[in-house]
């Protein structure tokens, strides 16, 4: 089985999230998908302004969804 990764930036202040972004890659294992999600999540948070992240209490939500191979 392969996995696809979807990542969403969310605010813990108002419980709202930006539209999810599907990463354009397929992962061959659950572990590979989760490790990639953590790496990408860190990059996303670092790329945002400190005040934006701190004022909105921004965090990342992600899912690794199993997809069937054809």
Report the pLDDT value the prediction gives residue 45, as an integer from 0 to 100: 96
User: How high is the pLDDT of residue 41?
Assistant: 96
Helix then strand then coil, % of the chain, to nearest 5: 35, 40, 25
Confidence (pLDDT) at 8: 96
Q: What is the rounded CA–CA span in Å between residue 58 and residue 10? A: 5
Q: Confirm whether pTM is higher than 0.75.
A: yes
- Note the pLDDT of residue 68: 82
pLDDT tens for the chain, 70 residues: list them.
899 999 999 999 999 999 999 999 999 999 999 999 999 999 999 999 999 999 999 999 999 999 987 6
Q: Identify the sign of the CA torsion 48, 54, 56, 59.
A: positive
């Amino acid at each position: 089985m392969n996995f696809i990764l979807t990542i969403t930036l969310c605010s813990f202040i108002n419980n709202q999230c930006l539209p999810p972004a599907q990463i354009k890659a397929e992962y061959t294992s659950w572990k590979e998908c989760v490790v990639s999600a953590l790496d990408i999540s860190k990059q996303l948070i670092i790329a945002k302004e400190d005040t934006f992240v701190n004022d909105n209490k921004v965090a990342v939500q992600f899912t690794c969804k199993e997809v069937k191979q054809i």
